[in-house]
């Protein structure tokens, strides 16, 4: 197969006619995709700026969100450029990140090649699927709707390129971290799924703090056919052993799911794995959940964990019924049967709820509701419910609501959490696939 040829540059001051724009955009993205295979992780912006000149792009910069989603940090290819960060809550780039929308700003009096001598700063969210990574900043000469569609395509490809290269380098991790991470937190974050996932029928958005010291909390999810599995874990302690406990819980659940195990199988094997590895004196509370995306039937097995909150019509309807079941690792042989080739497993008590389109479920660890202000007042379930209800009535994307909840939890305890705090929001939206999750 012939090698992909770079997009041919146009003469200075000349931009493709609207009728040719799709073809030029296709050549630019094809050239960028071809180069991406051997591109260094920090070279995405430089390659994009070079190859996108036929589209009127004169400069490109990539900013990645830090772990706590407070700053956008410049991804630089070299040492020459000074470190540059943008606050998420007070900049145009931050506004693009929060709302997952394109933001524009004119730059007057520049030599962009057009008759007016004006250019524009365009801020486009970078996403991996629906997981927000940061923003792409382009300096361009034209912000017509057709051009914005081309820039949006470039940003989509850039997001996928960045996500695909994250496993091969520490460059992104260094940029996204404000300080050194504790060993147990390093372990847990390495296991976690992305904090946002969505299809046209369901959304999952999660938050986890304290980001740099988290030990025993974790979450997990997986989509298989028409079923979404979601789990949340809270292991005893906050040290490396707690991180190991949570990791064993996640690994056991994934292993069982991937051989076709039921929700009861998942609970039984995780219980046995934790008891067998830690001698019966350590445990993990958990919610193990399954959502049928066709019927809306939600089933969960609470293992010593706070029950889910059902949200309907922007208000908390109720806690789903709590079923008595010991934490993982403490069920004991009397409540657990071996799982053999015939698929038998202990019959774990489960709760079930038939959801209505638009319903949401909130899963959380007790570090959220039991976290105390300096005066000693707990954050509490009512405060959590009120926050979700209040922000659900806005047009903000669900991942942004979770980001703000995360910051509210930290602020309430003046940034010093006494326990890990994890929240997972599930939205079943079979009739509303148009949520604002991509630019």
Domains parsed from the chain with CATH numbers? 18-174 (3.30.450.40), 182-428 (3.60.40.10)
pLDDT tens track for 190-212: 999 999 999 999 999 999 999 89
pLDDT at residue 434 in the model: 55
> In this predicted structure, which of 49-63, 163-177, 222-236, 425-439 has the lowest mean pLDDT?
425-439
113 has a pLDDT exceeding 50: no
pLDDT at residue 349 in the model: 62
* Average pLDDT over all residues of the chain: 87
Query: What totals of helices (H) and strands (E) does the chain contain, helices first?
Result: 11, 17
Enclosing H/E stretch for 224 = strand 217-224
- Whole-model pTM: value is 0.88
**CA 353/CA 321 separation, integer angstroms:** 9
pLDDT at residue 418 in the model: 83
pLDDT at residue 425 in the model: 95
Residue 230 token pair: 């979601």
pLDDT tens track for 13-37: 455 666 689 999 999 999 999 999 9
Helix/strand/coil for 151: helix
335 has a pLDDT exceeding 60: no
pLDDT tens track for 99-110: 999 999 998 765
Greatest mean pLDDT among 132-136, 395-399, 426-430: 132-136
255 has a pLDDT exceeding 70: yes
86 CB contacts (<8 Å, ≥6 apart)? 63, 71, 72, 93, 94
pLDDT at residue 9 in the model: 47
Task: Give the residue among 427, 390, 432, 384 at the shortest CA–CA distance from 406.
Answer: 384
Inter-residue contact 56 to 21 (CB < 8 Å):
no
pLDDT at residue 77 in the model: 59
């Amino acid at each position: 197969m012939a090698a992909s040829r770079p997009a041919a540059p146009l003469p200075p001051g000349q931009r493709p006619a609207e009728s040719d724009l799709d073809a030029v955009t296709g050549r630019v993205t094809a050239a960028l995709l071809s180069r991406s295979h051997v591109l260094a992780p920090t070279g995405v912006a430089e390659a994009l700026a070079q190859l996108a000149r036929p589209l009127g792009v004169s400069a490109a910069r990539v900013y990645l969100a830090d772990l706590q989603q407070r700053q956008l940090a410049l991804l630089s290819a070299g040492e020459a450029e000074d470190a540059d960060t943008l606050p998420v809550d007070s900049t145009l780039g931050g506004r693009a990140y929060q709302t997952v929308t394109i933001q524009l700003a004119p730059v007057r009096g520049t030599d962009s090649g057009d008759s007016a001598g004006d250019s524009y700063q365009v801020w486009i969210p970078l996403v991996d699927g629906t997981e927000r990574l940061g923003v792409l900043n382009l300096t361009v000469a034209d912000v017509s709707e057709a051009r914005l569609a081309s820039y949006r395509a470039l940003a989509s490809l850039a997001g996928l390129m960045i996500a695909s290269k994250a496993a091969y380098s520490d460059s992104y991790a260094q940029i996204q971290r404000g300080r050194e991470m504790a060993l147990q937190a390093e372990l847990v974050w390495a296991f976690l799924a992305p904090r946002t996932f969505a299809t046209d029928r369901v959304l999952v958005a999660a938050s986890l703090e304290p980001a740099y010291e988290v030990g025993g909390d974790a979450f997990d999810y997986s989509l298989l056919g028409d079923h979404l599995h979601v789990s949340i874990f809270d292991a005893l302690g906050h040290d490396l052993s707690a991180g190991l406990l949570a990791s064993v819980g996640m690994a056991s659940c994934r292993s069982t799911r991937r051989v076709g195990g039921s929700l009861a199988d998942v609970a039984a094997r995780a219980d046995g794995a934790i008891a067998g590895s830690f001698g019966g004196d350590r445990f993990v509370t958990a919610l193990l959940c399954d959502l049928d995306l066709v019927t809306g039937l939600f089933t969960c097995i609470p293992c010593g964990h706070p029950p889910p909150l059902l949200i309907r019509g922007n208000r908390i309807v109720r806690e789903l019924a709590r079923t008595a079941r010991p934490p993982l690792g403490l069920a004991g042989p009397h409540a657990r049967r071996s799982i053999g080739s015939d698929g038998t497993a202990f019959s774990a008590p489960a709760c079930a709820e038939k959801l209505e389109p638009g319903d949401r479920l909130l899963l959380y660890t007790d570090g959220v509701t039991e976290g105390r202000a300096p005066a000693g007042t707990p954050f509490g379930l009512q405060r959590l419910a009120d926050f979700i209800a209040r922000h659900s009535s806005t047009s903000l994307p669900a991942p942004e609501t979770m980001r703000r909840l995360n910051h509210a939890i930290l602020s309430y305890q003046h940034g010093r959490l006494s326990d890990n705090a994890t929240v997972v929001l599930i939205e079943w939206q079979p009739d509303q696939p148009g949520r604002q999750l991509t630019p």
